[in-house]
Structure 1
Amino acid sequence: MKAKKFITLALTAVLSLSMISCAGQKSKSLSGTIKIDGSSTVYPITQAVAEEFKKENQGVEITVGVSGTGGGFKKFVVGEIDINNASRHVKQEELDKAKANGIEMTEVQVAFDGIAVVVNKQNDWAKDMTVEELKMIWDKDSKVQYWSDVRPEWPKEKIKLYGPGTDSGTFEYFTEAINGKAKQIRADYTASEDDNVLVQGVAGDKYAMGFFGLAYYEENMDKLNVVKVNGVEPTVETVKNGTYKPLSRPLFIYVSNKALERPEVKEFVKFYLTKGKDLVKEVGYIPMEDSKYQEELNKIK
């Protein structure tokens, strides 16, 4: 009996090793390069997914750039990249350019995000603002120079403003939601595609204000205060349930259908929608429900 049991265990071990070997061979069989660019907001998720995917598929090279949503689409619609990270829906003009170049795409939602309006840690007055007050500050024809121009009881100190550059989906979404028209904004604010520059700017000036993705605020909440908008603070719960209005939004990747025909791209997108959910949480964004991930996964099967 002992001999029979030993043989059974040995066979099980051999079969297990064979399966592991086959699995290893399967992952090694994927090769090629996946080119990704686009939103600085979606970047941390895609970069984390790319790093984990490469651990299992060492033959695949993945480059992830940060040109902003619009900047990424400029490359995507002419076939320079396979995937565009996007913090907004594709525009009709971008679809038209892609079509003219024979490029078809699949929109895949990957997470939720909120845009945080932030002030310096020493700012103890601007705790809750209305959309109208934010528009007073940020709109193209704004006459606001001092905090006291917004509310008389606030300090008569100049507001130093920081925000993303014009190619950023965060910039476009904020200006549309707050100012009523995309890309309409006052000219005298400090713009950068690097959210860390914005964090440092606001953290270094008591009278500064800025805006960027909620994930960056959560990473730097020890340096900054977040402003409630219409009485609602941006949190995972308020973004996911839609009560943080109007500054919460879905996040996407846009995948070239032609690129999806390549096994390394298809497997990467599958990996993104299955194992990526935990990574979304890790980098400070808000994952979707399992049923929504399955719905997105069905688009590329």
Structure 2
Amino acid sequence: MKKRLFFVTLTALLTTLVLAACGNAEGSGSNDGNKGSSENASTEIKVDGSSTVFPIIEAVAEEYQKANPDAKVNIGVSGTGGGFEKFIAGETHVSNASRPIEQEEKKLLKENGIDYTEFEIALDGLSIVVNKQNDWVDQLTVEQLKKMWSENGGVETWSDLNKAWPDQKITFFSPGADSGTFDYFSEVVLADAQFRKDATLSEDDNVLVQGVTGSKHGIGYFGYAYYAENKDNLKAVPIVNGEGKPIMPSKETIQSGEYNPFSRPLFIYVKNDALNNETVYDFMKYTFENAGKMAEAVGYVAKPESAYEDALNKIKDLAGK
């Protein structure tokens, strides 16, 4: 998986080029052709969106293409917001998201005549990480995180947060503004406060991993899978939950909800018309048959098996099977 995650940026670039060459996604919005007008269209699945969800869908796609060598699954990593923009424009069949779709996005889809269905594909625990050499931070509260990440929070050094900690400037690493993880973190932690301007932002979570790894006084956050893959080089910070207990992110605490407020569902959004395309339908069927196993394989937490069975029944109904 390290190699997989390391090349997220390269994959996104190549995918963008492919999508630009191919035009709109068949079976989407005004470009609705159900079965498609060419062999290429009928065997191509176009996906974009969240870098957090990317490892799950990429793992599914790798196995699917082994079993179906004529199928092409093109996966972009534009971030949740960027993925929804392409979804709304009719360029993709599936949109990956690390937050629920917003009202404005729903409105635009409706205006474009695009019907869609939301599915939860796995569970994640947004992980707050520091450098492995950081031996002073043993836990953080949401209020401390707000002070740290707010533009006017008054925190520049570790000692600004706790006088017993080093008087050393903190380096901040965050997902970019198009990321659903950025949106989720901002909503849960900052509320109405302004996000600090000096943070290094990137849509590529591997850049954030490398940033914190290379900075003794760094701090960052991203999906649990990226922490789990790099836990030898990073230190996750226990977060004080609603019951006042400092909790580490783990599969157990994420699934139980004990790791709150940072346990969250991950989503995929599917265009209903796209399921008239037999290859898109077959890929989505394969996805929900294997999503739990693949989510666990890449470091996330599977939902109960009944949730995947419900999703399978839903796509069958949408496709008229």
Structure 1-normalised TM-score? 0.88
Q: What letter matches 2:124 in structure 1?
A: D
RMSD: 1.4
Matches within 5 A, 1:119-138: 119-138=130-149
Displacement of 1:184 in angstroms is 3.9
Aligned residue among 216, 219, 238 for 1:206: 216
Find the aligned partners of 2:291 and 2:283 in 1 and give their Cα distance: 10
Deviation at 1:69, TM superposition (A): 0.4
Matches of 2:195 and 2:151 in 1, distance apart?
Answer: 4
CA-to-aligned-CA distance 1:138-186 (integer Å, 9 cap, x gap) = 12322110100101111100000001000001111111111114x9411
1:147 aligned residue: 158
Alignment pair present for 1:78 and 2:89: yes
- The equivalent position to 1:296 in structure 2, one of 292, 296, 311, is 311
Deviation at 1:56, TM superposition (A): 1.5
Task: Output the CA distance in 2 between the equivalents of 1:62 and 1:260.
Answer: 15
Gaps of 5+ in 2: 1-40, 241-245, 317-321
Residue of structure 2 in register with 1:7 after alignment: none
Write the letter of the residue equivalent to 2:106: L
TM-score after normalising by structure 2: 0.83
CA contact (8 A) 1:120 1:223 kept: yes
Q: Deviations over 1:180-219 (max 9, x none)?
A: 14x9411110001111111111111111111111110110
User: Are 2:284 and 1:265 equivalent residues in the alignment?
Assistant: no
1:137-286 correspondence runs (5 A): 137-181=148-192, 184-230=194-240, 231-286=246-301
Unaligned runs of 5+ residues in structure 1 are 1-29
Partner Cα separation in structure 1 for residue 257 and residue 313 of structure 2? 25
Match of 2:59 among 29, 48, 54: 48
Query: Which residue matches 2:102?
Result: 91
Q: Percent identity?
A: 51
Deviation at 1:232, TM superposition (A): 0.7
The residue type paired with residue 162 of structure 1 is: F
- Paired residues, what number? 272
Aligned to 2:247, what secondary structure does the other structure show? coil
Question: How far does residue 66 in structure 1 lie from its aligned partner after superposition?
Answer: 0.2
For residues 196 and 157 of structure 2, the distance between their equivalents in structure 1, rounded to whole angstroms, comes to 14
Aligned-partner Cα distance in 2 for 1:169–1:277: 21
Separation (CA, whole Å) in 2 of partners of 1:100 and 1:48: 33
Paired AA for residue 238 in structure 2: K
Equivalent position SS for 1:251:
strand
User: What is the alpha-carbon distance in structure 2 between the residues aligned to residue 292 and residue 127 of structure 1?
Assistant: 36
Structure 1, 164-173 or 30-39: larger mean CA deviation: 30-39
CA distance in structure 1 between the partners assigned to 2:151 and 2:51 by the alignment: 24
Q: Residue 88 of structure 1: SS of its match in structure 2?
A: coil
Mapped contact 1:31–1:61 kept (Cα < 8 A): no
Q: In 2, Cα distance between the equivalents of 1:269 and 1:92?
A: 25
Give secondary structure in 2 for the equivalent of 1:299. helix
SS across alignment from 2:126: strand
Contact 1:31/1:59 (8 A) holds in 2: no
Q: Deviations over 1:235-256 (max 9, x none)?
A: 1011111111111110111001
